[in-house]
Amino acid sequence: GCQVFDFGDLNFTQVPNDELYNNLILYPRSVGLASQVLADAVSRAVAAGHSCVTIGGDHSLALGSVSGHARQCPHLGVIWVDAHADINTPLTTQSGNLHGQPLSFLLRELQDKVPQLPGFSWLKPCLSASDIYILKNYDIQYFSMRDIDRLGIQKVMERTFEQLMGRRQRPIHLSFDIDAFDPSLAPATGTPVLGGLTYREGMYITEEIHNTGMLSAVDMVEVNPLLGASQEEVNATASLAVDVIATCFGQTREGAHTAFDELPTPSSPDESDSEEQVRI
């Protein structure tokens, strides 16, 4: 039921001789350049009046998608659904993977903690700690799975919107990592964590975000068919991602309803007993 405009796949350039930054950070120039291309594309899509869906890829793509969105909607708020905080800095990361660091580049409060990486000179922080849902040290509101168990997903979402939109209506950027779900539901992903969201909790999150009427952009990341142990695992993970996106835009769990202005009535009289016996 949605009108869809496909901006197509983006082409990214792998920078040759993309050396480690600080002997640790992987592919900084390639990721920085790709993120810039993505930021431009998301900005164009939002400027054209679309709700922008970005399908990844790993979660480093939020560097580009959130930056591009913020060019058009500087007062946006971000809801980050993920098994991980993704707020390491290049100086605290242990893996060197930029997909564990995007939020540190986007937050204004962390700019004195983030070195200037090659390929990132274009990127300007566009979020404040109060604009996003995560962590402790910078008073960023977050909910763990323990909080979901304790409060229930309804109360978690109520508190999310109270924090993010209590004072004013604002565009929402949803950045959703499929590994937020329990691995039994989404096995084909890179960094699964036991005890994640149930299907019902995940759908409730996106249903409630849709119901605000303020959803402006969605990232769906970390679906990786190469990591499924079987085709069934790949299909299950991909189907779950489709449901997340579709529910963001109005798919419901109430069933598929056929609309009737008036219930139909039988157009012919009932069969006689003899006719029914003959038919049987």
Among 84, 109, 147, 207, the one annotated catalytic: 84
Instruction: State how far the Cα of 132 lies from the Cα of 140, in Å rounded to an integer.
Output: 7
Among 58, 69, 86, 182, the one annotated catalytic: 86
Among 59, 69, 173, 210, the one annotated catalytic: 59
177 is in an annotated binding site: yes
DSSP code, position 218: E
Catalytic: 40?
Answer: no
Please answer whether residues 121 and 101 qualify as being in contact, where contact means their C-beta atoms are separated by less than 8 angstroms.
no
Catalytic: 59?
Answer: yes
69 is in an annotated binding site: no
Catalytic: 86?
Answer: yes
75 is in an annotated binding site: no
Among 82, 131, 201, 233, the one annotated catalytic: 82
Burial pattern 81-106, b for ≥16 Cβ within 10 A else e, equals bbbbebbbbbeebeebbbbbbbbbbb
Catalytic: 177?
Answer: yes
Among 58, 69, 99, 210, the one annotated catalytic: 99
Catalytic: 99?
Answer: yes
Please answer whether residues 163 and 77 qualify as being in contact, where contact means their C-beta atoms are separated by less than 8 angstroms.
no
59 is in an annotated binding site: yes
Catalytic: 139?
Answer: no
Per DSSP, the residues of 20-83 read PBTTTB-SHHHHHHHHHHHHHHHHHHHHTTPPEEEE-SSGGGHHHHHHHHHHH-TT-EEEEE-S
257 is in an annotated binding site: no
Catalytic: 210?
Answer: no
Among 131, 177, 201, 208, the one annotated catalytic: 177
243 is in an annotated binding site: no
Residue ranges for the known binding site for Mn(2+) are: 59, 82, 84, 86, 177, 179
Residue ranges for the known binding site are: 59, 82, 84, 86, 177, 179
As annotated, the active-site residues are 59, 82, 84, 86, 99, 177, 179, 222
